Amino acid sequence: MFELNDRVALVTGGSRGIGRACAEALAGAGAFVVVNYRSGEAAAAETVAAIEAAGGHAQAMGFDVAVMDQVADAVSAIVKQHGRLDILVSNAGISIDQLLLRVKPEEVSRTFATNVEGAIWCAKAAIRPMMRKRWGRIIHISSVVGETGNPGQAVYSASKAALIGLTKTLAREYASRGVTVNAVAPGYIETDMTGALNEEVRQAIVDQTPLGRVGRPDEIASAVLYLASSEAGYVTGQVLRVNGGMYI
139 forms beta bridges with: 89, 182
Tell whether residue 189 is a contact of ligand NDP (CB under 6 A).
yes
Kindly state whether residue 241 participates in binding ligand NDP, applying the rule CB under 6 A.
no
The reply to whether 17 sits near ligand NDP by the rule CB under 6 A is yes
Q: Is 174 a catalytic residue?
A: no
User: Which region, judged by CB under 6 A, interacts with ligand NDP, from 79-87, 89-97, 99-107, 174-182?
Assistant: 89-97
Using CB under 6 A, which of the segments 23-31, 72-80, 91-99, 201-209 binds ligand NDP? 91-99
CA 20, 246, 221 angle in degrees (round to 5)?
Answer: 20
Strands 239-242 and 179-186: parallel
CA angle 82, 218, 19 (to 5 degrees): 45
Exposure on the CB side of residue 232, measured as CA atoms within 13 A: 27
Catalytic residue among 156, 174, 188, 226: 156
Identified binder of ligand NDP from the candidate list 9, 36, 129, 139, rule CB under 6 A:
36
Number of residues forming the site for ligand NDP (CB under 6 A): 32
Smallest distance, ligand NDP to C-beta of residue 12, A: 6
Which residue among 9, 24, 38, 225 contacts ligand NDP (CB under 6 A)?
Answer: 38
Rg (CA), the chain: 17
Cβ atoms of residues 39 and 45 within 8 Å: no
Binding residue (CB under 6 A) for ligand NDP from 148, 150, 194, 222:
194
Q: Which of 4, 10, 19, 74 binds ligand NDP (CB under 6 A)?
A: 19
Q: Which is nearer to ligand NDP, 46 or 82 (CB)?
A: 46
CB of 147 to ligand NDP, least distance (A): 11
Supply the minimum distance, in Å, between the C-beta of residue 231 and ligand NDP: 23
User: Judged by CB under 6 A, which stretch of 17-25, 48-56, 75-83, 227-235 contacts ligand NDP?
Assistant: 17-25
Amino acid at position 88, single letter:
L
Residue closest to 124 by CA, chosen among 85, 178, 82: 85
Choose the stretch contacting ligand NDP; rule: CB under 6 A; options: 53-61, 128-136, 188-196, 201-209: 188-196
Q: Does 114 bind ligand NDP (CB under 6 A)?
A: yes
Contact between 64 and ligand NDP (CB under 6 A)?
Answer: yes
Residues carrying an active site annotation: 156
